[in-house]
Chain A
Amino acid sequence: ELKVEQNPLFLSMQEGKNYTIYCNYSTTSDRLYWYRQDPGKSLESLFVLLSNGAVKQEGRLMASLDTKARLSTLHITAAVHDLSATYFCAAFIEGAQKLVFGQGTRLTINP
């Protein structure tokens, strides 16, 4: 059964710093999603990574996928307060046609 684990679960950082959130998954999956959730709000799709080596960037966020290592990363560059949120990765189970979510990483960016 596919399991998805994020690291770290909580991250407090200062504005202007760089950091990376890691997403490991346990079995084969060639499709990885990143979502953002603000407190009390719904989930917003950030990135879809479809193949090994895929890299997507949007502003200060960059996501990558290494299917051989079963690892996706979400890199934050020069963090700003507006990026404070909970970030989820989710891996797609091809045979079962569904997503499995990680536990989420709660990111707090302090001025």
Chain B
Amino acid sequence: NAGVTQTPKFQVLKTGQSMTLQCAQDMNHNSMYWYRQDPGMGLRLIYYSASEGTTDKGEVPNGYNVSRLNKREFSLRLESAAPSQTSVYFCASGRQSNQPQHFGDGTRLSIL
């Protein structure tokens, strides 16, 4: 049982490049989330999808876009990467939005 799978695990980009982070879950969860984790700041919500077909902004959405492709997949796109977006990105899913979230292993993204 894979749970929440994120790809890639590591990535280095140059400023201005674009990239899509992929996330898939096999637990039939309705809700999916993207967070970024920076030292001393905990996890901050970028975007979330409470159910298939819906997406909403979180705390720090600027510079990102998301797509809830189907119930299993929720992708995060950086259209023009900036050094301030260097971070560890976590995808998570939950059966409902008020249920415990299950996290992927993270994507470590560096932007030079």
Q: Which residues of A contact B82 (CB under 8 A)?
A: none
Interface residue ranges of B26-81 to A (CB < 8 Å): 31, 33, 35, 40-45, 48, 50, 56, 58-59
CB pair B105–A99 under 8 Å, yes or no, is no
Pair A103/B98 contact, Cβ less than 8 Å: no
Residue in A48, A88, A97, A98 whose Cβ sees the most chain B Cβ within 10 Å: A98
**Given A88-B42, A101-B44, A31–B101 Cβ distance below 8 Å?**
no
Q: How large is the interface on B (under 10, 10 to 19, 20 to 34, 35 or more residues)?
A: 20 to 34
A43, B90: Cβ atoms closer than 8 Å:
yes
Interfacial residues of chain A within 1-56, with CB under 8 A of chain B in the complex: 4, 9, 31, 33, 41-45, 48
- Distance in Å: Cβ of B105 to nearest Cβ of chain A: 5
Q: A41-B105, A45-B102 are in contact. Are A98 and B42 (CB under 8 A)?
A: no
CB 8 Å contact bits of A47-71 with B (1 = contact, 0 = none)? 0100000000000000000000000
A45 touches B42 (CB 8 A): no
A-B contact sample (10 more), CB < 8 A, given A9-B40, A31-B98, A101-B42: A4-B42, A42-B90, A45-B100, A48-B100, A88-B43, A90-B43, A92-B98, A94-B98, A98-B56, A99-B45
